[in-house]
Amino acid sequence: MPSLDPAIGQGAGPSLPVRSLRAVSGPPPDEWWGGYFQYFGAVGQQDAFDSRRRARILVIACHGAMALMTVSAALRVATGRTPPASYWIAVALTWAAMAIGPFVLKLTLSVGKAAILPIVATATSLPITSVGAGGLDAPVLAILPSVPLVAAFFIGARGAKALTFVLMVELGALAIAFNTGALSAKLAPAPVVKATLYASFLVVTTFIAMAYDHERRAVEHRLRTMAQQLYESSIRDPLTNVNNRRYFAERLEREMAFSARHGTPIAVLILDADHFKAVNDTRGHSAGDTVLVGLAANLVAHLRTEDLVARYGGEEFVVLLRDTSCEGARVVGERLRRAVAAMKFEHGGSLFSVTVSVGCASTCRARSGEDLLIAADQCLYEAKRLGRNRVIACDDVALPEKRSA
């Protein structure tokens, strides 16, 4: 399974291999192909259609069906086995419905409305063409099972169920008519006609399989994108775009286990903006938000890629430093403190600056993640007690368990 961890310290989202819509939909059409779809209203803004992909598939399906019916009728005439008038009426009506479908799409910009007439015409004409052309053994009826699938693809499951009911009634009526002798199959299709019809059925089913696979991949892409966005929102602070406290706690436990297994130290810094309430009270909460966003960006810019920055709560930020001792954490904390003190914030046409107090602790003096946070918090408390805008490391104060002892 792909890693869901963000790029630590860089504000990057989780690493999910998501294919682009261009990759899912295939290469863009060439000039002629694009003009073909443009003419029949099968391209445009996504919200203007039920689906641009369905629109394009509908245009191809209608024109492909027209071509198949034309070839099939021509083969019947060429083999000298001219069907009865009912066959030609059904073919003509279906051919006309297929020709009208793309233009309905162009006028209504609705795939569902444009697909109704071709689908209904096909479902009606297939049983009719079997009359006098092989009866219920006519190979044209082999295409019938694909009609509800096509209907489900274009007009939904409800329309497909209604169409299936109608087809079952039609087939039942034909079975009774042929069984009682009311209808008889007077003209059996030639082998070449049978082969053509069965080949047409294979083409139709292959086309349906391709269309559903196309939609499946597009849906898969959307689901993966949504999963990425949901995971991103669950581990990010919406204001500062750094990780949140929940993700920091999970990451700290993993880093503590890694540290214990490999014998390498890790350190935690807790930074608190000095007199932040005064900024909100005198300049407004929007100025406070500007400060928090600026602080987060500054921290990320002055840390390594493998370091983790998170908003711990309110105006507090926490930094996780891998393979860093207490003295190393003190050096990093001092660098961050100076970088923040040098920042200038603009709000309401005036410039102002803020400072931070920093508490540092390392696993050299703590046995668990909770101990590490308690020690860093105690150092932060000491930094504020001594006048703020300073860095206090774990070597400078006693750990909680020593005080309790």
Per-residue pLDDT tens digits for 128-185: 777 656 666 666 676 777 778 778 778 777 777 887 888 788 778 877 877 787 666 6
Residue 196 confidence class, pLDDT cut points 50, 70, 90: low
Residues 201 and 98 in one domain: yes
* Options 315, 316, 327, 346, the catalytic residue: 315
How much is the mean pLDDT over the chain?
79
Q: Let me know: does 392 contact 360? Beta carbons within 8 Å.
A: yes
What is the per-residue pLDDT for 191?
63
Tell whether the model's pLDDT for residue 21 goes beyond 60: no
In which element (H, E) is residue 399 found?
none
Range scoring the smallest mean pLDDT among 141-145, 217-221, 290-294:
141-145
Q: Let me know: does 95 contact 70? Beta carbons within 8 Å.
A: yes
Q: Which of 177, 202, 231 marks a domain boundary?
A: 231
CATH of the domain at 260: 3.30.70.270
Assign 3-state DSSP to the chain and report helix, strand, coil percentages, each to 5: 65, 10, 25
Q: Let me know: does 343 contact 294? Beta carbons within 8 Å.
A: yes
What is the mean predicted confidence (pLDDT) over 239-255?
Answer: 92
What is the mean predicted confidence (pLDDT) over 60-77?
Answer: 83
What is the per-residue pLDDT for 128?
75
Q: Let me know: does 269 contact 336? Beta carbons within 8 Å.
A: yes
Residues 227 and 296 in one domain: no
Tell whether the model's pLDDT for residue 49 goes beyond 60: no
Residues paired with 318 in a beta bridge: 270, 310
Residue 211 confidence class, pLDDT cut points 50, 70, 90: low
Residue 387 confidence class, pLDDT cut points 50, 70, 90: very high
Q: Let me know if 253 is a catalytic residue.
A: no
Q: Which of 190, 205, 231 marks a domain boundary?
A: 231
Tell whether the model's pLDDT for residue 33 goes beyond 80: no
Query: What's the Cα-to-Cα distance from 130 to each of 134, 178, 203, rounded to whole Å?
Result: 6, 11, 20
Residues 225 and 304 in one domain: no
Kindly state whether residue 5 falls inside one of the protein's structural domains: no
329 vs 261: CA distance, rounded Å: 21
Residues 151 and 277 in one domain: no
Q: Which of 176, 206, 231 marks a domain boundary?
A: 231
327 vs 341: CA distance, rounded Å: 21
Residues 167 and 263 in one domain: no
Q: Let me know: does 15 contact 2? Beta carbons within 8 Å.
A: yes
Kindly state whether residue 100 falls inside one of the protein's structural domains: yes
Residues 227 and 275 in one domain: no
Residues 164 and 298 in one domain: no
For the record, the structure tokens of 286 come out as: 């929007």
Domain count for the chain, please give it.
2
In which element (H, E) is residue 168 found?
helix 157-180
The residue range of the domain holding 349 is 245-404
What is the per-residue pLDDT for 81?
67
Tell whether the model's pLDDT for residue 65 goes beyond 50: yes
β-pairing verdict for 391-392 and 356-362: parallel
What is the mean predicted confidence (pLDDT) over 212-223?
Answer: 77
Kindly state whether residue 9 falls inside one of the protein's structural domains: no
What is the per-residue pLDDT for 342?
94
